[in-house]
Structure 1
């Protein structure tokens, strides 16, 4: 239910220049280098990423997207997507944590009334907030009941990324009862709010340090000041979801690039060659060169598409209230195309890299498995086959998928 007088106006305009991209790329690489020092040890410990969250905070990456006039980095989404990719080459968990933070925090620009956005931006900067979320749409167990001028929240939400270390959590819930029954609100609660319980139950194959446990709500008070806004079908507001999917694609691409880089280092260090080969070393063997060349070329192709769409996202966001349903839908399909190939290249490279690194690279101390475990885990977030169908339905019939937190 959208009307022209309620359309959200986003605070972002223009696109990133080379200086901006170079600056944030450098910051991200510095953080990634620090994370790389003990990435395997941290992954195996499977603890909440408290120190990692502080590293993101102290680096300034958390506020990259916050407009400069409110004390933020004044950056663009293209720069944010690149930081996600850079971190994913070395630590997929923290890459995901940052990617989700960006779009949780960006809900200020997508959902909040323009007159109230300045206060929210200042609060997140002054508080140094890392934003977690509790919006998993396939787990709709939250009940938001009217009470006085506010509400009470009850229920359980699984897969709440960042909740374990977040300062605040953004939540989507439908109002049950009262004059606004059925409306879906986006609101923000500090993790210390009375009745909010963080459940440390995230124990998965990969992405272990994403703070993605469950959150239980027992009569949690939700005040008017906590509410960002109503979740509607306004094209600019719903552009947030394709942005999240674009973040996923950059994450998967980063995993592929990281696996390639480590695989190259291992291959160059291998001595001798296969006994049937006439090559001096494995790295000079055309069989191994062919495999690595194929994976490198396909990864480069995905990178080119990602860079194109990363920049385009800023252009589409800049349309703000003028963004049409058709424009939003067509762009979502383009991102779905990237999501398909990025998923496949992330999984394939992290799997097939073993073909050039050999049996010795399966040692736990090498840690090459971390890439595959991370991308295999997160790529199950939503079935990539449905992204293929989304692409084909539009290509064949011009059909757009129904709006959701996946499309």
Structure 2
């Protein structure tokens, strides 16, 4: 870890880390499983403390900077970028939900012990149940889609309390007795996101690790967590699109052969190929601008703290929906159309170009993009802001 987190250059560190990840990305994508060595490299880089305020020993970076590092990593390895991005999502949850004492304790420990955080919060999976105990709660059940849970030091957890018909949000050490993490993620993309199931068997949850009590209505500030998460995804999709575009461009310049009917010697001189690359560029640029704009608005809202209003939060949600819809389209279209520009030889397994499409296709199914576009349509028609949920 660097001696002074405040003096690090996050983008340069992320760029170097991305180049190292890229050297083994194809073979690791084929192998799947837990990328333990790569996660340790992320830990050693100092980037795990990037979003933690200076008051707690972190680098104190703003969200545009954090998102930039996620996107840089996603260009090379979107699975590890996902794990890294979701680590920062859990840290955001501590700030948005936690008390001053909880933030002091947990954020300081994250910097001091270089903790890696994972997610077991999936709000749609209500199979983990919380029962009141003398000094907190007892958790039983299972939680799916637990990104980054394999190898995590701490987990953010949600559990359903039937007595109030509502969920609590808490944090726990992954080594807590009764917690077992199952590395059973088997999707065809994002294969190293450590997104298996987490099982809880009579797990003691102390009251001082509960961030949000069961059934408590989240404030505008607390509900900003979903926007932090959605913009992480938008940056992942965009990073994949940028990575696919760069891979296709390099292949076209260095290996592609001009089509005989083009009447040119080099593929890059083919006017139809130039036209198609221009069309892909016009997918990337609006997505880049929208994603960066949303990051600025989110950072401003995040820094408002408890003073954040519902309307301010809603305007962030609109900007994030725009960014996510455009990044979704760019990632899917570029990772698919790249093969039409690079030709049959580019489908060789040695290049692993198919991983771009598989990764973005799996990740873009996190929640239906149609509902983001519906929210944008409502806003365009009558100014309605999105309802604050765990996804909007």
Quickly name the TM-score band, shorter chain normalised: over 0.9
Q: Given that residues 146 and 176 in structure 1 are in contact (C-alpha distance below 8 angstroms), is that contact kept between their aligned partners in structure 2?
A: no
Q: Which moved more, 1:265-274 or 1:347-356?
A: 265-274
SS in 1 for 2:103: helix
Q: Given that residues 158 and 170 in structure 2 are in contact (C-alpha distance below 8 angstroms), is that contact kept between their aligned partners in structure 1?
A: yes
Among 268, 279, 283, the residue aligned to 1:294: 279
Matched, 1:361 2:352: no
Match of 1:334 in 2: 319
Does the C-alpha gap of structure 1 residues 339 and 129 become closer, same or farther in structure 2, counting only changes over 3 Å? same
Match of 2:119 in 1: 133
Q: Given that residues 66 and 72 in structure 1 are in contact (C-alpha distance below 8 angstroms), is that contact kept between their aligned partners in structure 2?
A: yes
Deviation at residue 118 of structure 1 after TM alignment: 1.2
Match of 2:172 in 1: 189
Aligned pairs (5 A) from 1:188-337: 188-230=171-213, 232-270=217-255, 272-337=257-322
Aligned pairs (5 A) from 1:2-401: 23-177=9-163, 181-230=164-213, 232-270=217-255, 272-401=257-386
Partners in 1 of 2:301 and 2:342 — Cα distance?
42
Deviation at residue 22 of structure 1 after TM alignment: 9.0
Deviation at residue 271 of structure 1 after TM alignment: 5.3
Q: Given that residues 333 and 391 in structure 1 are in contact (C-alpha distance below 8 angstroms), is that contact kept between their aligned partners in structure 2?
A: yes
Deviation at residue 272 of structure 1 after TM alignment: 4.2
Deviation at residue 183 of structure 1 after TM alignment: 4.9
Deviation at residue 109 of structure 1 after TM alignment: 0.6
Q: Deviations over 1:112-132 (max 9, x none)?
A: 112432112112122211111
Partners in 2 of 1:154 and 1:217 — Cα distance?
5
Q: Given that residues 90 and 258 in structure 1 are in contact (C-alpha distance below 8 angstroms), is that contact kept between their aligned partners in structure 2?
A: yes
Partners in 2 of 1:113 and 1:270 — Cα distance?
56
Does the C-alpha gap of structure 1 residues 185 and 73 become closer, same or farther in structure 2, counting only changes over 3 Å? same
Partners in 2 of 1:110 and 1:142 — Cα distance?
22
Q: Given that residues 21 and 79 in structure 1 are in contact (C-alpha distance below 8 angstroms), is that contact kept between their aligned partners in structure 2?
A: no
TM-score, normalisation: structure 2: 0.95
SS in 2 for 1:404: coil
Partners in 2 of 1:157 and 1:401 — Cα distance?
27
Partners in 2 of 1:116 and 1:197 — Cα distance?
24
Does the C-alpha gap of structure 1 residues 328 and 198 become closer, same or farther in structure 2, counting only changes over 3 Å? same
TM-score, normalisation: structure 1: 0.91
Deviation at residue 100 of structure 1 after TM alignment: 0.8
Q: Given that residues 66 and 73 in structure 1 are in contact (C-alpha distance below 8 angstroms), is that contact kept between their aligned partners in structure 2?
A: yes
Partners in 1 of 2:276 and 2:382 — Cα distance?
37
Count of residue pairs brought into register by the alignment: 385
Deviation at residue 267 of structure 1 after TM alignment: 0.3
Partners in 1 of 2:343 and 2:7 — Cα distance?
37
Partners in 2 of 1:199 and 1:108 — Cα distance?
25
In structure 2, runs of 5+ residues without a counterpart are 1-5
Partners in 2 of 1:21 and 1:211 — Cα distance?
31
Does the C-alpha gap of structure 1 residues 272 and 120 become closer, same or farther in structure 2, counting only changes over 3 Å? closer
Does the C-alpha gap of structure 1 residues 272 and 333 become closer, same or farther in structure 2, counting only changes over 3 Å? closer
Structure 1 stretches of 4+ with a deviation exceeding 4 A read none
Partners in 2 of 1:63 and 1:256 — Cα distance?
27
Partners in 2 of 1:22 and 1:67 — Cα distance?
14
**Larger relative contact order (Cα-Cα within 8 Å, sequence gap ≥ 6):** 1
Partners in 1 of 2:267 and 2:102 — Cα distance?
61
